[in-house]
Structures are given as structure tokens and as C-alpha cells.
């Protein structure tokens, strides 16, 4: 609640602004010997936040049909393998199938 004392009689315009809200303008008529009430309402403004979405294409080689990946020594040491079969490491890569 705001109070302004010692205003001369007349017409006043109150402007209320806040980020994220529309500006509220209120016209008030101040008269002698009367209390003039004003209740500005702030409405939610239009969103000004911008979100940029980018898409990046995966580089595909049109001349090479195979998939390549390297299974490093660190990977062989830290991965739990059932029976420690080194052939199981190959199945970590896409497109690899073990045949009997």
C-alpha cells in the first residue's frame, strides 16, 4: 500500500512497471478532502526469453561401409567380463556379432 500526502488537487497518472509484466497505467483524480484509492493490476507480459535449438548432423562417410572403433587397454582392464573372454569386448561395439 502506498500513500502520497500533500498532493495538489488534479489528475494524476501512475505508471507501474516490473520485469516480466505488462506496464500498468492508472489515471486518478485527486480532490480536496477526499482519499483517492488506486489499485493497479499487473498482468503477466509476453515471454521475452529466447531458446535456440541447434541440430548437428553425424558425419557419415559415403565411401566406407564399415564401422571402426578401438578397444583400449584401459577398457579391457576395468570392464567386468564373464570368464574374462576377450571376444566379449568386441560385442561392445555397434554391429559386432560373435559367430561360432
| Continuous segment of H or E residues that includes residue 88 | helix 87-90
Q: What is the dihedral of CA 23, 24, 30, 35, to 10 degrees?
A: -130
Q: Determine the Cα angle at 70 with ends 66 and 74, to 5°.
A: 160
Mean pLDDT to the nearest integer, 63-81: 70
Alpha-carbon span 2 to 82, nearest angstrom:
75
Residue whose grid cell is 579391457:
76
> Would you kindly state where each structural domain of the chain is located, as residue ranges?
1-45, 67-100
pLDDT at 49 over 70: no
The mean pLDDT of the chain is 77
% of the chain exceeding 90 in pLDDT: 0
Amino acid at each position: 500500500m502506498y500513500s502520497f500526502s500533500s498532493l495538489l488537487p488534479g489528475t494524476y497518472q501512475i505508471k507501474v512497471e516490473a520485469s516480466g509484466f505488462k506496464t500498468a497505467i492508472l489515471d486518478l483524480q485527486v480532490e480536496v478532502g477526499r482519499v483517492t484509492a488506486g489499485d493497479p493490476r499487473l498482468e503477466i507480459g509476453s515471454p521475452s526469453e529466447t531458446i535456440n535449438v541447434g541440430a548437428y548432423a553425424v558425419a557419415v562417410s559415403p565411401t566406407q561401409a564399415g564401422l571402426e572403433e578401438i578397444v583400449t587397454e584401459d577398457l579391457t582392464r576395468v570392464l567386468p567380463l564373464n570368464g574374462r573372454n576377450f571376444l566379449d569386448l568386441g560385442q561392445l561395439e555397434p554391429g559386432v556379432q560373435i559367430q561360432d
